[in-house]
Chain A
Amino acid sequence: MAFAALFTARYWTWRRLGALSIQALIAAAVLAVVWAAAENALANLARLKIKTGFEFLERPAGFAIAQRLIPYSESSSYFAAFLTALLNTLVLAAVAILIATPLGFAIGVARRAPNQLLAGVATAYVETLRNVPLLLQLFFWYFAVLQTLPAPRASHSLLGVIFLNNRGLILPAPADAGSAAIALGAILAVGALAAWGARILRRRLEAGGATGGGALLAPALAFGAPLLALLAAAATLHWERPVLSGFNFAGGIVVIPEFVAMALALSLYSAAYIAEIVRAGIASVAPGQVEAARALGLPPAIVSLRIVIPQALRAIVPPLANEHLRLLRNTTLAAAIAYPDLMLVFAGTVLNQTVQAFEVMAITVATYLAISLVVSAAMNLYNRRVLQAGG
C-alpha cells in the first residue's frame, strides 16, 4: 500500500475509523492501568523505604547454597547466587529430561505392544502417574522414600561403587578433572563424527537400494560408536571410589537427596505424558504405509526404522519439546522440598533479603521466559528445516 494512499478520502472509511478508535480506547485503558499501577508502586516503595535498581546484584549474598556446581560461598555476590541457582535448575531439568524421554518412549511403545499384559501395565503406569499431582509424587519420593533410607553405614550399594543412603546418592568421580574433560571432549567428538558418518552411510545405502540388514548399519554406527567411546573412556579414566570412613563417605560425588527426589518425581511424571505423545505419534502413521512396506517384503526392523519412526517423529517432536519445557517449569516445585533451584534461591531467599520484589521477580520471570522462548524458537526452526522437509 502506497503511503500516499493514507491521505485519500476513500481510505478513511467508517470501518477503518471505527477500528482505529476502538484501538485507541484499548490503548488508553491499558496505559491508564499501567500508569495507576506505576503511581501506586512508586508511592508504596517510598512509603516502605525500598531501594530500587539492580546494584544489589553486586552485594554479598551472605547465605549458603546446598548444591554448588560453580564456586560459590556466603561472601559471593547475589549475582553469583543467581548463576549457581540457575545452573542447579538447568542441571536438574537436563537430568530429568534425559531419564524421562527414553522412559516415555519405551512406555509409549509398550502401550501399543501386541502383548496385552505389557500394554496393560504401561496403561496403568500412565493413568496412575498422570492423575496424581506432581507435588504429591514429589513428597512421596522425598519424605517416604529418600528420607527413610538407611544411614551411610548401612547404605544400599550397587556393585560397591554407587551408594544410596539418607545423605543422598554417592557416585564415583574421575580422580583427575583435566583428563575427565579431555575424555568428555573425545566422546562428543566421536559422537559428532559417528552422526556425520551415519548420514553419509545412509545416503550411500539408499542410493544402492539397500533394504536388507545393510540399512541397519547407519543407526548402529550412530549409536554404537559413541557408546563404545563412552565405555573406553570409563575404562581408561582413573576413578575415585567413595569409601565409608567414620559416619560418612569420603571421595566421589555426592548428589543431595533433594536432587534425587526432584529428578525422580519430574522424570517419572513427564514420562507418562511423553508416553502419550509417542503413542499418539505412532498412531498417526497411516496403517496403509506399514501394510504396503510389509507387502514389499521389507523386514520388520526396516519397516519400523524407515517407515514408522520418521513419520511418527514429525507428530512427536513438537509436543515433546513442549513437554520438556513443562518439565523445566515444573522444576520450580523444588521450593516445596528446599532443593536450591532458581525459584527458591532467587525469588525466595534473595527476595526476602533485599525486599526488591520488582527487580528480583523481573529477573526470575525473564530468565524462565527467555529459556522457554529460545527452546520454542529452536523447535520451530528444527520443525521447518528438518521434520517438514523430510530429512
Chain B
Amino acid sequence: MNAPSALAPAPDSAPPPRPGAVRRFAASCISTPANIALTAAIALLLALTLPDLVEWTLVKARFSGAGPEACRDPDGACWVFVSARIGQLLYGDYPPPERWRVDLVLAITAACAIGLMLRPVRRHAPLALALLWLGPALSWVLALGGVFGLPPVATTRWGGLALTAIVAATTLAGAIPLGLALALARRSQLPLLRWLAVATIELGRGVPLVAVLFVAMAVLPLLLPPGVELSPLLRAALAFVVFNAAGMAEVFRGGLQAVPAIQTEGARALGFTRLQILGLIELPQALVIAMPGLVNTAIAVIKETTVVLIIGLLDFLAQIQAGLADPQWIVGDQVRDAAYFFAGLVFWIVCFGLSRLSAGLERRTAPGR
C-alpha cells in the first residue's frame, strides 16, 4: 500500500526538495490501481453527500421568518426554530427580567474555563483551585439570588444552556478535588483509607451514571433527616460529582504513577518529608501528566450533563426536545433536523474546541517538564 521507496540518491547530490502538502496528499491517493479505486469510491461518496449537506444547511435553509409558518418549506433546514426559541434554549424558565444574571453566569463559566487553560494559572495549583471553585460558587449565588437584593429564583425554574453550564462547572469543581483525594487515599499507607478509596472508585466506575442519578433521586431523600430536602438539581449535581470523582481518581492515579520512582527516592535521600515529596516533587509533575486526561474527562462531563433530562431537569437538550414537542412547532422534519443539528453543533464546538486546546497545550509543555 505504501509509496515505493525512492532509490538511493547519488552520494554527492543534495536531498530532493520535500514535496508540498497538496502533492503529498495527491501522491498518497493515487499509487496502485486498488488505491485509485478506493480514492474514487470515497470521492464519489463525498460528492454525493457534501453538496446536499451544504445545500440543506445554508443554500435552501430558512434563516428568518415569523414563527413556525416559515418552516413549511420542505427543502432546507429551518433555523427559525432556534432563533424563535433562543430564550428557552439559553435560560429555560428563568424569569425574563432577571436573565442578565444568567448571562453573567455563562460569562463567568466561560471566563473560568478559559482562565484554567492559561499557563500561569495551570502552574499554580492554589490559583487554579480558586478559579475552579469561584466560577460555580458565583454562578450558584447569582442564579439562586436571595442575597445582595437579588430576588430569589428557585432551581426548578433554571434550564437551558445555563443549567448545562452550572451542572458541568459544579461537577468539575467537586469531582476534581475529590478525585485527587481518592487517588491519594488509594496509595495511602493506612489500609482502611485505601480500602475505602478502592471501594468508592470501583463502585463509581462499575455503575452506570443513570443508576447513580436514580439513587440520588429515589434513595438519597430517604437517608436525610425528615424535613431536610435537597432540590433535584442539587441531588443531580451530587450524583455527578460522586460518579465523576471515580473517573478523575483514575486519571490522577495514572499521573502519579508516571512520575519516575527515582525522583521520590532522590528527594527522600535529600531528607524531604513525605508531605514535601508529595507537594513539591510528585504532584506538580503528576498534574501536568494528568492534564490531557483531565480535559478528556471534562469533555465527557459536558456531554454527560444531557443525561439529566432523564430525571426531568430541563437542560439544553431537554429544552430542544420540549420545543420540538410544542404542538405549534410540529410542522415537518425540517424543524427537528435543524434543531438536532444546532444542538450537535453547539456541543461539538465546545467539546472539540476543548480537545484541540488541550492538544495544543500538550505539545507546548510536553518535553522536559
Contacts and interface: CB of A to CB of B under 8 A. Distances in A.
B336 A144 contact: yes
A41 B337 contact: no
B14 interface: no
* Dominant secondary structure at the B interface: helix
A75 interface: no
Contact of B321 (A26, A43, A139, A333): A139
Nearest to A127: B352
Nearest to B321: A139
A240 to B, nearest CB: 34
B310 to A, nearest CB: 5
Interface in A9-60: 19, 22-23, 26-27, 30, 37, 40-41, 43-45, 47
Interface in A274-316: 300
A23 B2 contact: no
B210 A131 contact: no
B219 A132 contact: no
Contact of B206 (A116, A117, A343, A369): A369
A30 B196 contact: yes
Interface stretch (A165-173, A195-203, A357-365): A357-365
Given A144-B336, A358-B219, A133 B1 contact: no
Contacts of B222: 40-41, 44-45, 357-358
Interface string B286-323: 00000000000001000110110110000001000100
Contact of B203 (A136, A325, A369): A369
Given A40-B226, A335-B310, A128 B348 contact: yes
**Max chain A C-beta neighbours (<10 A), residue from B42, B222, B225, B348:** B222
A156 interface: no
Interface string B36-63: 0011001100100000000000000000
Interface stretch (B107-115, B143-151, B265-273, B339-347): B339-347
B270 to A, nearest CB: 21
Nearest to A362: B219
B193 interface: yes
Contact of B209 (A41, A329, A351): A329
Range, interface on chain B: 35 or more
Interface in A61-118: 113-118
Interface string B188-227: 0111110010000011011111110011001101111110
B330 to A, nearest CB: 12
A136 B208 CA distance: 18
Contacts of A331: 208
A131 B348 contact: yes
A351 B337 CA distance: 35
B156 interface: no
A382 interface: no
Interface string A328-342: 011111011000000
B181 interface: no
A332 B1 contact: no
Given A135-B306, A136-B344, A144-B337, A114 B208 contact: no
Given A113-B1, A127-B352, A135 B210 contact: no
Given A136-B347, A329-B209, A43 B333 contact: no
Contacts of B344: 132, 136-137, 140
B35 interface: yes
Given A136-B317, A343-B211, A368-B208, A114 B303 contact: no
Nearest to A335: B310
B2 A361 contact: no
Interface residues of A, number: 59
A48 to B, nearest CB: 8
A117 B29 contact: yes
A343 B210 contact: yes
B223 A41 contact: yes
A132 B208 contact: no
B355 interface: yes
A134 interface: yes
B192 A27 contact: yes
Nearest to A348: B214
A127 B203 CA distance: 30
B190 to A, nearest CB: 5
Contact of A115 (B35, B209, B317): B35
Contacts of A330: 208
A43 B304 CA distance: 35
A167 to B, nearest CB: 19
Given A136-B347, A139-B340, A343-B208, A115 B310 contact: no
Nearest to A19: B190
B97 to A, nearest CB: 31
Contact of B190 (A23, A47, A368): A23
A347 B303 contact: no
15 contacts: A115-B1, A115-B28, A116-B24, A135-B306, A136-B344, A140-B340, A143-B336, A332-B208, A335-B210, A336-B309, A347-B210, A351-B214, A351-B218, A361-B218, A372-B205
Given A44-B223, A131-B348, 17 more contacts: A19-B189, A41-B222, A44-B222, A114-B31, A115-B29, A116-B25, A116-B29, A128-B348, A132-B348, A133-B347, A139-B340, A140-B344, A333-B310, A364-B211, A365-B207, A372-B207, A373-B206
Top 10 nearest A-B pairs by Cβ distance?
A372-B206, A332-B210, A329-B208, A131-B351, A133-B303, A357-B218, A332-B208, A37-B223, A23-B192, A116-B28
Interface of A: 19, 22-23, 26-27, 30, 37, 40-41, 43-45, 47, 113-118, 121, 127-128, 130-137, 139-140, 143-144, 148, 300, 325, 329-333, 335-336, 343, 347-348, 351, 357-358, 360-361, 364-365, 368-369, 372-373, 376
